[in-house]
Structure 1
Amino acid sequence: MRKLTLLKIEILLIVLLGVLSSNKTNAQDKLDKSTIVPSMIKAMEWQEQHPIFAIAPTDWTNGAYYTGVTRAHQATQNQIFLAAIKTMGYRNEWKTYIRDYHADDVAISYAYLYLEMNTNRKNMVNLEPTESFLQKHLFEDNQWKTGEDKEKSILWWWCDALFMAPPVIVEYAKLKNDESYLDAMHKYYLETYNLLYDKKENLFARDNRFVWTGKETDIKEENGKKVFWSRGNGWVLGGLALILDTMPKDYKYRPFYEQLFKEMATKIKSLQQADGLWTTSLLYPESYAHGEVSGSGFFTFALAWGINNGLLNKDEYSLNVMRGWNALQKCQLENGMVGWVQNIGFDPRPADFDSWQNYGTGAFLLAGSEVLKLKD
């Protein structure tokens, strides 16, 4: 009799655990849209109160952050985001950073171009620095077009560059109604694709050091797999969403970008972890067994954008997006700071609850801006 009672208790416990687990999963799979905009505002307000940049206020870190602020305004029309972009532009005197051969140094112009095309105030934005940069970067010789440096043998020799410059170029091409900028962008994008894209894994190596040649000296993870950095691939997939968002539907090379986007999205979907985030090393999650916000933010943004724009099937991807966003929100502290952001680098490294960077906040804002648009 006692054995029978114990058996009943064990069965009851199993059922209860199943219910609790189911409730946890259901909570993870639900989206409370009422919390998205407040979370985004808190994130931006905290970041504005804690300015940070790697080199200068016009550098790539601020470029990525203010791209997020820009998309937040586009999605919400909340004036607090627009005010932040205007203040930044005036403070920076609408300048790019100083290296016209380096894609990173024009990322800040994404926000400038948004203001130019989305406000009625004439002569507010001075686009001359951006125009000068793009002319030199795309159409004049520079030290990374000569091929003399084996590591930097092409203009965009690192995958991050595909987020920094191409979205700006596409926006500028739209503003000027000049397809020659799109053609130049495609030329250099294809060089990077041919050098760094792994067609077996459907992921990008961060740079030439991580491209497998079949030699024993190839850099490997401890599990023997190739090194694919989460944020590096987040830069690419997030950048693709920004490019496709503006690229004309009838542009002759658009099918290439759509196909690449779908290939990468399929792979990224398969690598999401149970907590909703992606780890810093995509093929070796055990290396740092925790989620990371900057890569996860860009992935969540891109997957949501794909659903919203008909490139990804909603039934297949919506759970990934909801789980991604819910997990990102859990990484935001009560004061608005977005934690669990890997610091500046070029390969997988750890993060923790209070590690933050402005580009992590930018990725968070990008994700929120597209998740907000999801249809019920």
Structure 2
Amino acid sequence: MKNFLTIILLTFACYAYAGKPGKIFKDWPSSASPEVVGDLLSQRFVEVPHPNFNGNPAPPNEITYPETCAWFGALRYAQVRKDSRLLSLLENRFLPIFGPERYLQPKPDHVDHTVFGCIPLQLYLQTNNKIYYHMGMWYADEQWKMPRNTKHKAEYQALLDKNLSWQTRYWIDDMFMISCIQVQAYLVTKDRKYIDRAAAEMVTYLNKIQRPNGLFYHAEDAPFFWGRGNGWMAAGMTELLSSLPQDNPNYSRIMESYRKMMKTLQEYQKEDGLWGQLIDDKTSWSETSGSAMFTYALIKGVKKGWLDEDSFGPTARKAWIALVGQLDEKGDLAGVCEGTNKNNDRNFYLNRKTLPGNMHGQAPMLWCATALLEK
């Protein structure tokens, strides 16, 4: 009975605003207010020590990409809220990296490590402190520069000759990691080369790995539409399109792929408002990190006018309310799939553990709160 009532409330909350331009992301239930949720999530981020990738008890040996993505989200949330106190707390979390926590700074030797540069670049955009500029741009530039002492020089040079990053590997999460830092470099420098090369990289990935229905297999030898993997692609296209000049020759191609993906996602949204661990299987368990990434992409698409508000607005609204219902009083999101490598076994995906409060889920929830508040 409780689940039935929840579905009824979700449906009413969504469709009460259909057909009212500009209203779909307003008049939230108090618990779903993006300010209330964003404040809770950002405070939770500040108070949690640097975590390991999957919440292991041992101290981390570097900042992992899930934390980077949550940190980046909290910084943008502070900006949209004009919250100088939160910005100070987030900066104070970073400053020890110049001293006693220097060992936690990742090297730009892998796509998952290089995305760390988006934190200092975002700090520079908000503080104008040049030390952040130089650190962040080092990461962005290294992504397109032959690494020293590599055993793969011929392989990497072949990629660079095509204006692709040497970190190209055609994994679906790459397209958030690469897009994020290169877009930030473009916003900082106004140099088109950064976003133009990110767009060219995106099209190469789309041509190679997007399926006819707009979704993505985890890998060619893992033919499953895994939720969070697809979430990285949805968020990556969204991140890129949000700043990509429309005169870029790849703009239309990326927008076409984005819209195709959003249409298919809309079809697979479950009654509870979320998406399954395997997207095309509505009987698979509801996974929140991928769902939050899809919600972010939908919110931005509706607000930017890329998607029809009457059609996609209720989908995004229903998803956001459902996600908020998965937060506990501390601000930890339930139902987050643990770190997952590719596997050619359907049950491997269905049997993954969930990790409440894992940064894979905290990050896109912060992105969503920010997107809802942006003008």
TM-score by length of 2: 0.79
Equivalence for 1:128? 134
| Partners of 2:199 and 2:330 in 1: CA distance | 42
Equivalence for 2:239? 242
Deviations 1:237-257 (A, max 9, x none): 111111122222332322222
Are the aligned partners of 1:237 and 1:302 in contact in 2 as well (CA < 8 Å)?
Answer: yes
Are the aligned partners of 1:156 and 1:162 in contact in 2 as well (CA < 8 Å)?
Answer: no
| Partners of 1:195 and 1:154 in 2: CA distance | 16
Are the aligned partners of 2:183 and 2:243 in contact in 1 as well (CA < 8 Å)?
Answer: yes
C-alpha spacing 1:77/1:359, structure 2 compared with 1 (3 Å): farther
| Partners of 1:354 and 1:173 in 2: CA distance | 34
Q: 1:43 aligns with which of 41, 44, 52?
A: 41
Deviations 1:139-169 (A, max 9, x none): 3266463689xxxx97132110111121210
Equivalence for 2:12? 26
Q: 2:177 aligns with which of 146, 160, 164?
A: 164
Deviates more, 1:300-309 or 1:361-370: 361-370
Gaps of 5+ in 2: 17-26, 54-59, 160-165, 343-348
| Partners of 2:371 and 2:206 in 1: CA distance | 26
Secondary structure of 1:204's partner?
Answer: coil
Equivalence for 1:359? 360
Q: 2:315 aligns with which of 315, 320, 340?
A: 320
Deviations 1:220-249 (A, max 9, x none): xxxxxx411111111111111111222223
| Partners of 1:291 and 1:19 in 2: CA distance | 18
Deviates more, 1:40-49 or 1:158-167: 40-49
Gaps of 5+ in 1: 1-17, 211-225
Equivalent positions of 1:275-354 (< 5 A) are: 275-286=272-283, 289-346=284-341, 348-349=349-350
C-alpha spacing 1:272/1:301, structure 2 compared with 1 (3 Å): same
Deviates more, 1:43-52 or 1:27-36: 27-36
Deviates more, 1:237-246 or 1:128-137: 128-137
Equivalence for 1:197? 210
- The structure with the largest alpha-carbon Rg is 1
C-alpha spacing 1:160/1:323, structure 2 compared with 1 (3 Å): same
Are the aligned partners of 2:121 and 2:132 in contact in 1 as well (CA < 8 Å)?
Answer: no
Secondary structure of 1:209's partner?
Answer: coil
Equivalence for 1:98? 107
Deviations 1:309-337 (A, max 9, x none): 11011000111111111001110001221
Q: 2:87 aligns with which of 56, 73, 82?
A: 82
Tell me by how many angstroms 1:49 deviates: 2.4
The question of 1:254 aligning with 2:248 is answered no
| Partners of 2:335 and 2:125 in 1: CA distance | 34
Question: How many aligned positions are there?
Answer: 333
Equivalence for 1:72? 77
Equivalence for 2:372? 371
Are the aligned partners of 1:205 and 1:229 in contact in 2 as well (CA < 8 Å)?
Answer: yes
The question of 1:267 aligning with 2:264 is answered yes
Are the aligned partners of 2:215 and 2:225 in contact in 1 as well (CA < 8 Å)?
Answer: yes
| Partners of 1:65 and 1:19 in 2: CA distance | 32
Identity percentage over the alignment? 19
| Partners of 2:129 and 2:373 in 1: CA distance | 30
Q: 1:207 aligns with which of 219, 222, 235?
A: 219
Are the aligned partners of 1:154 and 1:191 in contact in 2 as well (CA < 8 Å)?
Answer: no
| Partners of 1:131 and 1:138 in 2: CA distance | 11
| Partners of 2:176 and 2:336 in 1: CA distance | 18
C-alpha spacing 1:173/1:285, structure 2 compared with 1 (3 Å): same
Tell me by how many angstroms 1:39 deviates: 1.7
C-alpha spacing 1:261/1:355, structure 2 compared with 1 (3 Å): same
| Partners of 2:191 and 2:7 in 1: CA distance | 55
CA RMSD of aligned residues (A): 3.0
Deviates more, 1:265-274 or 1:106-115: 106-115
Are the aligned partners of 2:7 and 2:272 in contact in 1 as well (CA < 8 Å)?
Answer: no
C-alpha spacing 1:257/1:91, structure 2 compared with 1 (3 Å): farther
Tell me by how many angstroms 1:42 deviates: 1.5
Tell me by how many angstroms 1:352 deviates: 7.3
